[in-house]
Chains A and B, each alone.
Chain A
Amino acid sequence: MMLTPETYQADYASKLPGSGLPWLADLRADAAARFAATGLPDRKVEAWRYTDLKPIKDQIFARHDTKLGTVPPALLANNNRLVFNNGKLLESMTDLPEGVQLLGMAQVMSVAPELIADHLGQLAALKDLPLPSLNQAMSQDGYVLVLQPGAKLAQPIEILFLNHTGASYPRNLILAGEGSEAAVIEHYRGQDDETYVVNAVTEIFAGPGADVRRYKIQRESQLSNHIATVAGQFTDGARFENFDLNLGGRLARSEIHVALQGRDAAANLNGIYLLRDRQHCDNAINMDHVVGATNSHQDYRGILDDRSHGVFQGKITVRPDAQGIEGHQLNKTLLLSDKAEMDSKPELEILADDVKCSHGATVGELDETGLFYLRSRGIPEWEARRLLMTAFVAQTLDKIADQDVRGIMDRLVTDWMAS
């Protein structure tokens, strides 16, 4: 199926929340036109060199029904959560501290659009990307987290996206005022054996000194296609921690665009991908040091079994005159099977001289010497393997600042290894 500006107006535009708002209608029409001009990117586009979107071509406009999937228990003991069913808000939260608003995007568009009017769809990094444009045009809901200056969320909040049929387009927005703090867990969860597409976007605007933590747990169905794009801009002294745990999906892509636009802004981007069968997982990171005295760290590790295919494309850009930069990046992958494939492209683009930038990448199998050592001490091979794999990913898990979240991630990783 094709999307043209005309079919978009006829079939979709008027059915979306807030369609009566001229600025929103324009924003969507513009995004639809941008997507219509390019369509889905193919592998000739450098950013999609290792990921083929052909399989989702026919599904990307599929309608979903509103039937309710089984809602799993909350991840966190505090039961703090928002639930979206196929991209639409199902359960909201009321018990929030002073200065914190957590709402559904559709709800905001109809009752308080001024809250998001200055920010929604305004990040330059997303403008020319086909999938986020399509998301902008089609999205019906998502979460909006607004933190007033100084507001602090003491505990993380789970945002559960339950997916089963068709295509859904969650659009999320985090506005973190000066000195505010918050942690969210975006939990994508699929129903077994369901085929569907999720094309999600999260935008983050962080004011001076704000501290934003975004944790993503991707447990979509093994037949699904999951594409998530995160883009954020961080002003003076703002901090961003992002952690991606990729477990599910037949085809998964996690794309991150971080712009450090104020001095002393810092980003910590980490992730783990554990793949088996024919799973494909692509982590694409664009780390942009726009001004000087900013720093970034990336640590991505994965374990690939069966015929799975892992991709890592991480780019650190240091703009002209952005002096005093530190930017580091590490990508390590273990191959457990003869049919698994890993493609890694760690890239540096440095246009200032007072920098310390590095990247490292390794791909290989489990260390034979380590295995032998453990086995010679009476540990069975399967357990020795599990121990080495656990130690391998633990170094990345250790970077998670929130201890509750670390515990959840730990449990999920252990479950994967045991199964």
Chain B
Amino acid sequence: MSYSADTADQVASIAGDKYKYGFVTDIETELAPKGLNEDIIRFISAKKKEPEWLLKWRLRAYERWLEMEEPTWAKVGYPEIDFQDAYYYAAPKSMENAPKSLDEVDPELLRTYEKLGIPLHEQSMLAGVAVDAVFDSVSVATTFRKELAKAGVIFCPISEAVQDHPELVQKYLGSVVPYSDNFYATLNSAVFTDGSFVYIPKGVRCPMELSTYFRINEANTGQFERTLIIADEGSYVSYLEGCTAPQRDENQLHAAVVELVLMDDAEIKYSTVQNWYPGDADGKGGIYNFVTKRAACRGRNSKVSWTQVETGSAVTWKYPSCILQGDNSVGEFYSVAITNNLQQADTGTKMIHIGKNTSSTIIAKGISAGRSQSTYRGLVRMQPGATGGRNYTQCDSLLIGDKCGAHTVPYIENRNRTAQIEHEATTAKISEDQLFYCRQRGLTDEEALGMIVNGFCKQVLQELPMEFAVEAQKLVSISLEGSVG
């Protein structure tokens, strides 16, 4: 190979590394007509062969949404979104007649997931992880369903759950995030297309990790998925979520809703590695990630743990929350949010303590580089009944470069004498001494930065399931490339 070709290859591989998921799968897609109106909602509902009650629910949400205003309180800025200029349904043509098994799934789709590092062949994959792969508006495959069924666990696309387990869906859908909750959740309620449904029966410890991989592929579409996880008495599940999108100059909207319901003694561990396309160095393109995630700890001694690593998206607006209703219930929120270039992230959590002896922990680490803005926004509220409630919050921000911003906006509300809330936050720049120390020992600027930042995030990253933790560490370093030196 000639010298110049070699160099060109190297350059290409470095550029590719920055966002290696930026490719587009060339596949025939069926689209609903552009725009948003009642007919589109009826179209989606008909496509999914939904019962009447669900269509009515969607239409009620749509009616409500028309009266709502887009929230402006978050510290993010973006041009006005034209909700009529997008497709609300996009599905690979090959999915028209739902494939019965993995062997029938379009090989092009399987290749896409392989390229993303998510092999869908059960035998060859990461042992012990069942995957639901959502491609634009449909779920293309869900692995290990038989094995899970043996344990009584239901893990399927939500559109299928509507058909196969309507009683569960009807009972719990919208019970944590009502259709009228907020602008984006209401929009999602009207137009949601797919997502995962999980039910863990009484006393069952889910035999493997469950995972959903979201992929936006088609241009000018939005992805509106809806995830519903129900953990019945004494059950346990660990659920992982990953997402990527092609590299495009236009912004794309992702407005998801995740609802978790926990009964007595149930536990859900919900981990997210959010790596939507963040836009280029000049802030062109990228995903608008406006997500509502909420867990209702209804039962006694239930526990929910949110762990998120947010590295992607042009704009993030996301506050995974816990409603700690059952006595002794526990809520945890571990978050790393990294913004670089012109990314903006406004993220945090809400811990609403209702039951007695409820406790919550919040560890949020924000890292801003380039010209990005990162905000932690959180609420801790002790209701009058939260006797013995306990919260500990720690928010740390790290600034890399003098053009970025880091903000902390916590709301602390205590209405119970015996409840205790502790909050601490710090903001500082990356330590020159630490950088110098690493460089002096032969590390490059970027290696040193990656190492220090990984140390800063360790408290959160160690909460991730192992395979994800390794991936996340790499992601942390990659996201900050080009921010020193």
Contact = CB atoms under 8 A, between A and B. Distances in A.
Interface of A: 46, 320-321, 323, 333, 335-365
Contacts of B415: 340-341
Residue from B414, B415, B419, B424 having most chain A Cβ neighbours under 10 A: B414
A321 B399 CA distance: 13
12 contacts: A333-B414, A338-B417, A343-B414, A346-B423, A350-B427, A353-B400, A353-B429, A354-B429, A358-B427, A360-B424, A363-B412, A364-B422
A46 B384 CA distance: 24
A335 B417 contact: yes
Given A341-B414, A354-B429, A362 B402 contact: no
Contacts of A351: 405
Interface hub of A349, A362, A364 (most chain B Cβ within 10 A): A364
A93 B383 CA distance: 52
Residue among B406, B419, B420 with the most chain A CB within 10 A? B406
A355 B420 contact: no
B413 interface: yes
B420 A363 contact: yes
Contact of A343 (B403, B404, B412, B422): B412
B427 A343 contact: no
A335 B421 CA distance: 11
Contacts of B412: 342-346, 361, 363
Contact of A346 (B402, B419, B425): B425
Contact of B406 (A46, A333, A350, A360): A350
B404 A353 contact: yes
B29 interface: no
Given A343-B412, A361-B412, A362-B420, A355 B384 contact: no
A318 to B, nearest CB: 8
A78 B426 CA distance: 44
B407 A350 contact: yes
Contacts of B421: 361-364
Secondary structure type dominating chain B contacts: strand
Contacts of A323: 402
Contacts of B407: 347-350
Contacts of A340: 415, 417
B22 interface: no
A345 B393 CA distance: 13
Given A341-B413, A363-B414, A347 B408 contact: yes
Contacts of A344: 411-413, 423
A336 B418 CA distance: 9
Task: Return the 3 tightest CB-CB contacts between A and B, nearest first.
Answer: A364-B420, A353-B399, A353-B429
Interface in B372-428: 384, 397, 399-428
A358 B406 CA distance: 12
Nearest to B377: A347
Contacts of B419: 363-364
A361 B410 CA distance: 10
Which of A323, A333, A337, A341 has the most chain B CB within a 10 Å cutoff? A341
B466 to A, nearest CB: 33
Contacts of A357: 426-428
Nearest to B421: A363
B53 interface: no
A166 B404 CA distance: 49
A337 B409 CA distance: 27
B429 to A, nearest CB: 4
B400 A360 contact: no
B231 to A, nearest CB: 31
Interface residues of B, number: 34
Contacts of A352: 399, 402
Nearest to B387: A338
Nearest to B409: A347
Contact of B409 (A320, A336, A345, A362): A345
A348 B408 contact: yes
Interface string B123-140: 000000000000000000
A199 B235 CA distance: 58
B424 A342 contact: no
Given A348-B425, A351-B405, A363-B414, 14 more contacts: A335-B416, A344-B412, A344-B413, A347-B408, A348-B406, A348-B408, A348-B427, A353-B400, A353-B429, A354-B402, A356-B426, A356-B428, A357-B427, A359-B424
A360 B403 CA distance: 26
A334 to B, nearest CB: 9
Contacts of B409: 345, 347
Contacts of B78: none
Interface in B43-99: 73
Interface in B288-331: none
B356 to A, nearest CB: 13
Interface string B425-454: 111110000000000000000000000000
A91 to B, nearest CB: 43
Nearest to B416: A338
Contacts of A349: 405, 407
A84 B379 CA distance: 43
A48 to B, nearest CB: 14
A348 B400 CA distance: 17
A351 B426 CA distance: 14
Of A338, A342, A363, which is in contact with the most chain B CB atoms at under 10 Å from its CB? A363
Nearest to B384: A338
A260 to B, nearest CB: 17
A234 B407 CA distance: 24
Contacts of A360: 422-425
Nearest to B376: A348
Contacts of A320: 403
A306 to B, nearest CB: 11
A361 B384 CA distance: 19
Contacts of A46: 73
Given A341-B413, A345-B409, A349-B405, A355 B399 contact: yes
A347 B411 CA distance: 9
Contacts of A338: 384, 416-417
Nearest to B398: A353
A46 B422 CA distance: 23
Contacts of B428: 355-357
Contacts of B402: 321, 323, 352-354
A203 B93 CA distance: 69
A365 B427 contact: no
A46 B73 CA distance: 9
Contacts of A362: 420-423
Contact of B417 (A321, A336, A345, A354): A336
A276 to B, nearest CB: 14
A82 to B, nearest CB: 39
A97 B400 CA distance: 51
A357 to B, nearest CB: 4
A343 B400 contact: no
Nearest to B408: A348
A337 B417 contact: yes
A341 B419 CA distance: 11
A359 B396 CA distance: 10
Contacts of B404: 353
Nearest to A329: B425
Nearest to B423: A361
A333 B419 CA distance: 12
Contacts of B411: 343-345
Contacts of A339: 384
A354 B403 CA distance: 11
Nearest to B422: A362
Nearest to B402: A353
Contacts of A356: 426-428
Contacts of A335: 414, 416-417
Nearest to B424: A360
Given A342-B413, A345-B409, A365 B424 contact: no
A162 to B, nearest CB: 35
A343 B410 CA distance: 10
A357 B426 CA distance: 6
A311 B439 CA distance: 47
A412 to B, nearest CB: 24
